[in-house]
Chain A
Amino acid sequence: MPIYYLRLAALSYKRNPVLSTLMVLAVSIGIGAYMVIFTLNYVMGGDPIPHKSEQLYHVQLDISEAGQDRQAPVQLTYLDATALMESAPAQRQTTTSKFGAILEPGNPELRPFSILGRGASADFFPMFDVPFIYGGPWSGDADDNLEQVVVLSRELNEELFGGQDSVGEQIRLHGTNFTVMGVIDDWNPVPKFYDVNNGPFDSGEELYIPWPLLVSMELSRSGNTNCFQAVEGSGLQAFLNSECVWIQYWAELPTAADRATYQSFIESYAAEQNALGRFQNDLSRNRLYDVEEWLIEEEVLPDETRILSALAAMLLAVCLLNTIGLLLSKFLGKAPEIGVRQALGAHKGSLFVQHVIEAGFIGLLGGLLGLAVASFGLEGIKILLGDDVMMTNWIQLNVPVVIVTIALAIVSTVIAGLYPIWRACNINPAIHLKTQ
C-alpha cells in the first residue's frame, strides 16, 4: 500500500507541477536556511572533545580585588600555575600559552620566517588526545630539565621536511637548536577549548615546545596578558612574581572523587594564599569548569549565530505557513478525485495515510533540495568570513546535520499538512460526484 501511495503522490506532483514545485521550494528555502544556522550553532556550540569533555577541567583562580564581581580572571599567574604544577593532585595537568618566534630552517633555500607556537606540558598531548603521525610527545622530564624538544604540526613538517618522518631532526627556533620529538596530524578542535580567550575559532599552532622554555628563553608571549596589580620592579623576575595572568591551566580528573580531591586542593591553596594577603575575593570563585561548563561560562558561542538562529526559526515558520496554504489549495483542488476514491470505498483512515505520504513526499523533496540550499549557504558564509580572521574549514554539512535536515523537512511538512489533510479527508463526496 505505501508504495501505491507514493506513486499516487508522484502522480499528484505531476498533475499540479507549479503548485507542487512552489511547495518544495518553500520547504527547501526554509529548511536550508535553518540548517545553515543550525550547522554553525552545532559546531561552534558543540563539544570539541566529546569522549573526554567531562574529565577535562579548566582551573580558575581568582586574584581579582575584594568585592570585584566581574568575571574572575580566565588565566593564571606564573606563581599559581607553577605552584599547582608542583603539587596539585591530578592524573595529568598542563600549563599552556601561545608564543611567537622566528624559525630558521636548516634548509638554506628557505628564508627564516615567524611562527606561532604553543608552550605545553608533556601531559598536554595525551590529555587532549592529540593524534601523532610520527614519534610522540616529549617526556615529563623534558619539561623539568628545560630540554629543547619540539613537536611539529603536519603542515610545518610538510614545509620543513617535505612530510618525511622528521623525528630526531633539528630545527632552529629563536636562535636555539631544537630536536623534533614528533609530528602531529591536523588537530583543530572547534571551539579551541583549551585557549578560548585567544581566538576560540583559530586554528592550532604550528609547533609545540615544553612550556617552561617560554620563561627560560624569554620567548614573546602572543596571547592575552592581564595585570591585576602593577608589576613591582622591572625585568623578567618581577613579571613572573606579579599578579599578571597569561597561562591557561587544565587538569584531567577522570572520576568524581578525583574532581573532589582537586577542588579541595584548590580551596586549601586559595585559603593559604588568602592568609598571605592574595586571593581577597570570594573564595568560592576558585573552582573547576569542565569543557562544556567552560565554553558556556566564556560565552564562546557568538551572539551573531544565536540571533541568527532565532531569525532562521521565524524564516522557517513563514515557509511552513506558506506550505500550509499551498497544501490546502492543492488538496481541496483534488476534491473530485477524493470523492471518487471515497465512493469506491476508501475510508478516512486510508485517505489520511495517502495524504500524509503525499505531504511527506513533498517534504522529502524539499529536504533534499534544502541540503543543496544549505551547502550553498554554508559556502557563501565561508566566503563572507574569509580564511584570515578565523578557521572556516569546519563550515560544511556533516552527517548529523544531513539527517536532521531531511527528518525536519519531512516532519515539519507533514505537521504543516495536518489541517489540509484533515480537510481533504472530510470532503463530502456527494457534492463532487454530482458535478462530474
Chain B
Amino acid sequence: MDIGPIFRAMTRNKLGVILIALQIAFTMTVIINAIFIINERSRLMARPSGVDEANLFHLVSVGFGEGFNEEIAARDDMEMLRRLPGVANASVVNAVPVSGSGSGTGVRLTDDESSPSNFTAIYRVDEQAIDTMDLDIIAGEGFTIGDVRNRQRNSEAVSDITVLTETLARDLFPDEAVNDVVGNTVWVPGGIPLQVVGIVRQLQAPWQNNTIERSMLVPENVIDGSSMYLVRSEPGQRDRVMAEVEEALVAANGSRIIRDMRSLEETREGTYRIDSAMSTVLWVVIITLVFITSMGIVGLAVFGINRRRKQIGTRRALGATRPQILGYFMVENLLITGVGVTLGAVLTIAFSILLTTNFNMPAMGWHYTPLGMLALLAIGQLAVWGPSRGAARIEPAIATRSV
C-alpha cells in the first residue's frame, strides 16, 4: 500500500485529523491512568491481613449500670463462647486488623526516648488471640494464660513480653535472622522493656498506610468500659455462629449491650469502600470514553467517505479493488490514530508524573504506555472497519453519474 497519497489527502483535511488525534490522545491519557489507578487500588485491597478473614467476626460489649464488672464479664463471656458449638476460638482484643481503628506506638531498641523509633500498631490481646486470629508463629512461641495482665484505662503498658510481626522484627533487627530476634528486648515509651518471645509471619496493622505490616502483640486485657471480642467460627459456619453468639451474649448478661457486630469481611468491604467506588467510577469513565471516541471516529469517517464517494467510484472504475479501498481507509485511520497515540503517550506519562508527585501514587509501570498505544490503535481500526467496508462497496458506476 502506498502511503504517499493517503498522507497527502490527509493534509487537505487537517482539522478532521487533528480532532480525531486529540480525542485519541485524551482518551488514551484517561484510560491508561484510570486502569493504572484501578490496578493500584486492587493491589492494595488484595493484600492479605494475615488473619483468617473468612471465618472471623467481631463485636463490642459495653456495660452499663452499677453492677457491671467488665473483667468478670469478659472472662465469663470467653468461657461461654469457646464452648459454643461452631466457635473455633474467641478472644478479647483492643483492635481488629483492616478496621481502620486501633492503637499505635513507637518502639525502640534502647530506653533512650530521644532516639528514633519505629512506629507500629500494638494489639493488646489475651493468650488465645494468636490462635483466634489463626496467625502463623514462625519463631519462638505465643502467650500463656499466666502472661496476661490487666491494664486499667489511662495507664502505661504493664506487660513485659511481646510477639512481633516478621516485618517489624526485620525493621528493628535488620542484621539478625528472624530466629535470633526471639529473646531480644525492645522498648516502648515510658521506659518499658518488652522481651520478644515470638514472631508471627503476618498481621496487618488496623490502618492502611506504609507501616501496615508492622504490628506487635502484648498480652494485656484493657479495662476501659468496653471490650472488643474477636471470634473465629469453624469454617463455613460464620453466619450461623454470629447469630447464636449475639443471642448467647445478650442472654448471659443484661447490664450491657452488644454493638458493632460485623464479620471481618464486612469490615474489609467498608474500609475499602471508597477504593472500590473509585474503581467502579473509573470503569464507567473508561467505557464511556471508548464509546464516545469510537463514535467520533465513525462519524468523521462516514463524513469523509460521503464527501469522497465520487473519487472512490473513480478509483474503482480505474481498477482499484475493494480490498484496496478498504485498505486505504484502514491505513488512513492507522495514521491518524498513530498521531493520536504518540501525543497520547506524552500526555499519559505527563499525567502519571502529576499523579506521582501530587497524590502519593507509585510510578506507573513502563508497559502501560505501549500497551495503551496498541489498544487505542486496535480500537481505531475496529471503529473504522464498518465505514471502510461501506466505502469499499461503493460501485464504480458512481463515477459516471453526475450528482
- Interface residues, chain A, with chain B CB atoms under 8 Å away: 19, 22, 26, 29-30, 33, 65, 100, 102, 104, 111-114, 174-175, 218, 220, 227, 229-236, 238-239, 302-304, 306-308, 310-312, 314-315, 317-319, 321-322, 324-326, 328-329, 380-381, 384-386, 388-389, 419, 435
Which residue, B22, B259, B285, B355, has most C-beta atoms of chain A within 10 A?
B285
Cα distance A99–B349 in the bound complex, in angstroms? 47
A176 to nearest B CB, angstroms? 11
Interface flags, B283-305, vs A, CB<8A=1, else 0? 01100110011011001100100
B154 in contact with A389 (CB, 8 Å): no
Please state if B64 and A234 are interface contacts (CB–CB under 8 Å). no
- Is residue B280 within 8 Å, beta carbon to beta carbon, of the partner chain? yes
A104, B64: Cβ atoms under 8 Å? yes
B32 CB to nearest A CB, Å: 11
Find the A residue at minimum CB distance from B101.
A224
Cα A288 to Cα B29 with chains together (Å)? 41
Q: What is the CB-to-nearest-CB distance from B383 to chain A, in angstroms, rounded to a whole number?
A: 12
Q: Report yes or no: A175 in contact with B66, Cβ–Cβ below 8 A.
A: yes
Contact with A along B317-361 (1 / 0, CB 8 A): 000000000000000000000000000000000010011001110
Q: Give the shortest distance, in Å, between B343 (CB) and chain A (any CB).
A: 13
- Report A-chain residues with C-beta under 8 Å of the C-beta of B63: 102
Residue B140 at the chain A interface, CB threshold 8 Å: no
Roughly how many angstroms separate A307 CA and B316 CA in the complex, as a whole number?
51
Please determine whether A384 and B280 come into contact, CB atoms closer than 8 angstroms.
yes
Q: Which of B33-58 contact A (CB under 8 A)?
A: 33-34, 37
Cα A194 to Cα B224 in complex, Å, equals 27
Find out whether the CB atom of A302 lies under 8 angstroms from the CB atom of B295. no
Chain A residues, Cβ within 8 Å of B289: 315, 318
Bound: A385/B20 CA distance, A? 35
Distance, CA A329 to CA B284, complexed state (A): 28
- Given contacts A102-B257, A174-B64, A384-B280, are A235 and B154 in contact (CB under 8 A)? yes
Give 5 new A-B contacts, CB below 8 A, not counting A231-B154, A311-B34.
A19-B299, A174-B64, A318-B289, A324-B19, A328-B15
Q: For the side of the interface on B, what is the size category?
A: 35 or more
Q: Which of B165-173, B269-277, B366-374 contacts the other chain?
A: B269-277
CA distance A314 to B26 in the complex (A): 6
Closest 8 CB pairs of A and B: A234-B155, A230-B190, A230-B189, A384-B277, A239-B154, A102-B64, A322-B296, A329-B303
Give the chain B neighbours of A388 by CB distance below 8 A. 270
Contact assessment for A307 and B27 in the assembled complex, using a CB-CB cutoff below 8 Å: no
| Cα distance, A254 to B300, chains bound together (Å) | 60
Query: Would you list which residues of chain B between 165 and 208 have a CB under 8 Å from chain A?
Result: 188-192
Which of B30, B114, B154, B282 neighbours the largest number of chain A CB atoms within 10 Å of its CB? B154
Q: Provide 9 A-B residue pairs closer than 8 Å at the C-beta atoms, listed in order of the A residue.
A: A26-B292, A100-B226, A102-B257, A227-B189, A239-B154, A315-B26, A315-B30, A317-B26, A388-B270
A231 in contact with B190 given A315-B288, A317-B26 (CB within 8 Å): yes
Q: Is the CB of A234 within 8 A of B280?
A: no
Given contacts A102-B62, A230-B191, A317-B26, are A113 and B257 in contact (CB under 8 A)? yes
- Given A33-B285, A114-B62, residue A318 in contact with residue B292 (CB < 8 A): yes
B113 within 8 Å of A by Cβ?
yes
CA distance A30 to B156 in the complex (A): 57
Contacts of A311 in B (CB 8 A): 30, 33-34, 282, 285
A314 near B29 (CB under 8 angstroms)?
A: yes
Closest to A305 in B: B278
Dominant secondary structure of chain A at its interface with chain B: helix
In the complex the two chains form, is B190's CB within 8 Å of A238's CB?
no
B273 touches A386 (CB 8 A): yes
Establish whether residues A321 and B270, one from each chain, have CB atoms under 8 Å apart when the complex forms.
Answer: no
Q: Is A385 in contact with B273, judged by CB distance below 8 angstroms? A: yes
In angstroms, how far is the closest chain A Cβ from the Cβ of B287?
Answer: 11
The docked-state distance in angstroms from the alpha carbon of A111 to that of B276 is 36
Chain B at the A interface: mostly helix, strand, loop or mixed?
A: helix
| B23 contacts chain A at the CB level, 8 A cutoff | yes
**Also in contact, A319 and B292, with CB within 8 A (given A384-B281, A385-B274):** yes
Partner of A29, one of B15, B20, B288: B288
Closest chain B residue, CB of each to CB of A227: B189
Pair A318/B27 contact, Cβ less than 8 Å: yes
Query: What are the interface flags for B76-102 relative to A under an 8 Å C-beta threshold, 1 for contact and 0 otherwise?
Result: 000000000000000000000000000
Tell me whether A325 and B278 are in contact (CB under 8 A).
no
Partner of A234, one of B37, B156, B296: B156
CB distance from B273 to the nearest CB of A (A): 5
Q: B264 → chain A, closest Cβ, in Å?
A: 16
Whether B257 and A322, one on each chain, are in contact in the complex, defined by CB atoms closer than 8 angstroms, is: no
Q: How far is the CB of B289 from chain A (nearest CB, A)?
A: 6
B236 within 8 A of A: no
Per the bound structure, the CA–CA distance linking A423 and B403 in Å amounts to: 23
- Distance, CA A314 to CA B289, complexed state (A): 10
- Bound complex: CA A135 to CA B357 (Å): 52
Contact between chains at B359 and A306 (CB < 8 Å) = yes
Q: How far apart sit A239 and B190, CA to CA, in the bound complex (Å)?
A: 13
User: Do B154 and A238 touch (CB < 8 A)?
Assistant: yes
B156 touches A231 (CB 8 A): yes
Residue on A nearest B226 in the bound complex, by CB: A220
A399 to B349, CA, bound (A): 37
Docked pose: A81 CA to B115 CA in angstroms: 29
CB distance from A354 to the nearest CB of B (A): 22
Given the interface pairs A102-B257, A230-B113, A230-B156, the reply to whether A318 lies near B33 with Cβ below 8 Å is no
Q: Which of B62, B65, B274 touches A175 (beta carbons < 8 Å)? A: B65
Complex alpha-carbon distance, A425 and B354, angstroms: 41
> Chain A's nearest CB lies how many Å from the CB of B359?
5
- The distance from the CB of B390 to the nearest CB of chain A, in whole angstroms, is 15
Cross-chain contact B403 with A435 (CB below 8 angstroms): yes
User: Which residues of A have CB within 8 Å of B295?
Assistant: 22, 26, 322
Chain A residue with Cβ nearest B260: A114
The answer to whether B277 touches A385, judged by C-beta atoms less than 8 angstroms apart, is yes
Distance of B227 from chain A, by nearest CB (Å)? 12
Residues of B within 8 Å of A384, CB to CB, are 273, 276-277, 280-281
Which residue on B lies nearest to A308, using beta carbons? B281
Q: Are A325 and B156 in contact (CB under 8 A)?
A: no
**How far, in angstroms, from A29 to B292 measured CA to CA in the complex?**
9
CB contacts (< 8 Å) of B192 on chain A: these are 230
B270 / chain A contacts, CB cutoff of 8 Å: 386, 388-389
Asked if B152 is an interface residue, CB under 8 A from chain A, the answer is yes
Chain A proximity of B112: nearest CB distance (Å)? 13
Determine which residue in A26, A29, A102, A236 has the highest number of CB atoms from chain B within 10 A of its CB, and name it.
A102
- B224 in complex: contacting residue of A175, A220, A231, CB < 8 Å: A220
Are B30 and A175 within 8 A (Cβ)? no
